[in-house]
Amino acid sequence: MAEDVLEIENLRLNFYTYEGVVEALDRVKLNLKKGETLGVVGETGCGKSVTGLSTLAIVLPPGRIEEGKVILKTEQNPIDLLSKNEEFLRRIRGRVISMIFQDPKSALNPVYTVGDQIIEVYFHHKRKELIQRVIEQLDASITGRKASFLSKHYKKIYQKMLKNPNAFSLRIQSKIPILRRYKRLLVNEAKKEAINILRAMKIPDPERVVDMYPHELSGGMAQRVVIAMALACSPKILVADEPTTNLDVTVQLQILQLIKELKEEFSSSVIYVTHDMGVIAEMCDRVAVMYAGNVVEIGEVFEIFKNPLHPYTKGLLESIPRLGVPFKSIKGTVPSLIDPPKGCRFHNRCDYAMDICTKEKPNMVEVEKQHFVQCFLYK
């Protein structure tokens, strides 16, 4: 059995808004195994997107993490990301864990080209390698016959960049218009990488696309660009936050297939956040069902579809429209999280609610092998 690469323990997160304190996440517990695709499914507002962001230790104001741990197990020793400082986290984000977003058009900055934004990732995480490569190229052209003054001059600059990146002379040079032409070499190297990754995304004519602006691309292409940015540094974990929700159905299929292939190619583990059970069935090995800030059930996809344990999961599966079957929905609405119901948060919509459900919160119990449920119906 594969070991975990990521574990979320007891994550509790609140949003402090004008209208009150929104208790968005309440003791969320998740684990991601190596090489698998974990689905996180739930309705709008259940906290799945926030959970996704939390794996990167990104908390958007006015939110605040009250307690819990996000344990990364890809390195030598397990690291609790929430306890690390910004400096450390920045080296993890984009390189070890990456994220792709729901609306590709708004996830990309409209004033920079697609290439610029991908290059940004390379500059941030793979700068040294790129500099090395430039130096090698310069060496090659020097020992060849084109030993121009410029090449030697540039080589000196790049060597300095390796040794002492924050040198004062470098900082000044990079601001002055003509002198900063040396940067071009680095940008070109990075651009080559960007073109490669775009090609891996099955984007046709990547040399042309790399110089285009986000608004010039279709939704599907833009989403591929976002995926390219995320996979640029071959991260071990990819978090996908409803990446196909805003796309046409046909494009959706393409993107899903792309993600599947890329997962194999880059050997990543994927957390796939969605509200669409069909996508879960298609893409995921295991699935976590979330409701009102709790993970209520987690287990293998096939198992959960065949034998849903939690009343909410049952309701979800039953409410998928089918021809010939009368439409069923779960009664009631999602409660406001500003003053959430005491005890189990689902109890006021649950057909099996018991007295204890209104008073205490159930713990996660393992009912079958690798099939966990958070409900008082099970012991």
Partner 1 sequence: MNIRHRLEELKAEMSPAKKELEFTLKRIRKSPLSIVGAVIVLFYVVIAVFAPIIAPPVTSDPYRIWRDGFSLIPKPLGTPVEDPIARKAGWTVHYFGTAEGQFDIFYGCIWGTITAFRVGILVVGISLLIGLLLGCVAGYYGGIVDELLMRFTDIVLAFPDLILAMALVIALPAVALIDIGLFWAVVLCLILPIIAGRTLKLRGSSNLMLGIICLLTFLAIDIWILGSPPIWIITMKLSQLDKVLIALALVYWPSYARVIRSEFLRLKQEDYVEAAKAVGCSDFRIITRQILPNAIYPIIIMASLNMGSIVLTAAALSFLGIGSPIGYADWGQMISFARNWIWAGFQNPWQYWYTFTIPGLFIFTFVLGWNLLGDAFRDILDPTLRRK
Partner 2 sequence: MGLREYVIRRVLLVIPTLLGVAMLIFAVSQLFTPEQRATLYITNEKQMQNIEAVIRLYHLNESVFVQFIDWISQVLQGNLGYSHTAKSPVLLALLRKLPATIELVVWSIPLILLVGIYVGTQSAIHRDKPVDHASRTVAIIGWSLPSFWLGIMLIAIFFAALGWFPPERMSTATANYIYLSGEWRSYTGLLTIDGLLNGQLWITLDVLRHMVLPTITLTTINVALIIRVMRSSMLEALGKGYIVTARAKGLSHSEVINHHARRNALIPTMTVSGLLTAGMLTGVTITETVFNIDGVGRWAALAAGGAGAVPDIPAVLGFALFTGIVYVFTNLIVDILYAYVDPRIRLE
Residues in contact with partner 1 by the rule CB under 8 A: 17-18, 61-62
Q: Closer to partner 2 by CB, 112 or 302: give it.
A: 112
The one of partner 1, partner 2, none whose footprint includes residue 18, by CB under 5 to 8 A per kind, is: partner 1
Q: Closer to partner 1 by CB, 62 or 278: give it.
A: 62
Q: Closer to partner 2 by CB, 3 or 19: give it.
A: 19
Instruction: Please enumerate in sequence order all residues whose Cβ is within 8 A of that of 249, keeping only pairs 6 or more positions apart, or say none.
Output: none
The helix (H) or strand (E) run that includes residue 306 is: helix 301-306
Stretch of 98-106, 244-252, 266-274, 332-340 contacting partner 2, by CB under 8 A: 98-106
- Please report whether residue 54 would count as binding partner 2 according to CB under 8 A: no
**Residue the block writes with tokens 């292409």:** 221
Q: Closer to partner 1 by CB, 16 or 88: give it.
A: 16
Residue 27's φ and ψ, nearest 5 degrees, are 55, 60
- Report the alpha-carbon distance of residue 46 to residue 92 in Å, rounded: 27
Per CB under 8 A, contacts with partner 2 among 158-217 are 213, 215
Stretch of 70-78, 110-118, 127-135, 201-209 contacting partner 2, by CB under 8 A: 110-118
The single residue among 10, 17, 83, 109 that binds partner 2, judged by CB under 8 A, is 109
CA 219-223-224 angle, 5° bins: 120
Q: Closer to partner 1 by CB, 62 or 332: give it.
A: 62
- Please report whether residue 373 would count as binding partner 2 according to CB under 8 A: no
Which residues in 144-178 are b (16+ Cβ under 10 Å) and which e? eeeeeeebeebbebbeebeeeeeeeeeeebeeeee
- Residue 348 CB, shortest distance to partner 1, in Å, is 16
Q: Where are the beta strands (DSSP E) in the chain?
A: 4-17, 20-33, 37-41, 63-72, 79-80, 97-100, 237-241, 269-274, 286-291, 294-300, 364-368, 371-374
Instruction: Tokens for 15, please give them.
Output: 């949003």
- Residue 294 CB, shortest distance to partner 1, in Å, is 25
Residue 314's φ and ψ, nearest 5 degrees, are -60, -45
The one of partner 1, partner 2, none whose footprint includes residue 2, by CB under 5 to 8 A per kind, is: none
For residue 371, what are the β-bridge partners?
368
The one of partner 2, partner 1, none whose footprint includes residue 112, by CB under 5 to 8 A per kind, is: partner 2
| Residue type present at position 369 | K
- Residue 347 CB, shortest distance to partner 1, in Å, is 21
The single residue among 10, 67, 112, 181 that binds partner 2, judged by CB under 8 A, is 112
The helix (H) or strand (E) run that includes residue 264 is: helix 249-266
- For residue 316, give the nearest of 280, 367, 360, 364 by alpha carbon: 280
**Residue the block writes with tokens 């159905």:** 249
Using DSSP, state whether 372 is helix, strand or coil.
strand
- Please report whether residue 103 would count as binding partner 2 according to CB under 8 A: yes
- Residue 61 CB, shortest distance to partner 2, in Å, is 10
Q: Closer to partner 2 by CB, 30 or 230: give it.
A: 230
- Residue 298 CB, shortest distance to partner 2, in Å, is 24
- Please report whether residue 325 would count as binding partner 2 according to CB under 8 A: no
Q: Closer to partner 2 by CB, 27 or 127: give it.
A: 127
The helix (H) or strand (E) run that includes residue 188 is: helix 183-200
- Residue 74 CB, shortest distance to partner 2, in Å, is 16
- Please report whether residue 93 would count as binding partner 2 according to CB under 8 A: yes
Q: Footprint of partner 2 on this chain (CB under 8 A)?
A: 53, 56, 58, 60, 86, 89-95, 98-99, 101, 103, 106-112, 120-121, 124-125, 213, 215, 226, 229-230
